[in-house]
Amino acid sequence: MPEITVNMAAGRTDEQKAGMMRDITTALVTHLGVAAEDVVIQINEAPLTNKMKGGKTFVERKAARGK
Looking at the DSSP bridge assignments, the partners of residue 42 are 5
The whole-angstrom separation of Cα 1 and Cα 7 is 20
Single out the catalytic residue among 2, 11, 19, 47: 2
2 is catalytic: yes
Residues assigned a catalytic role: 2
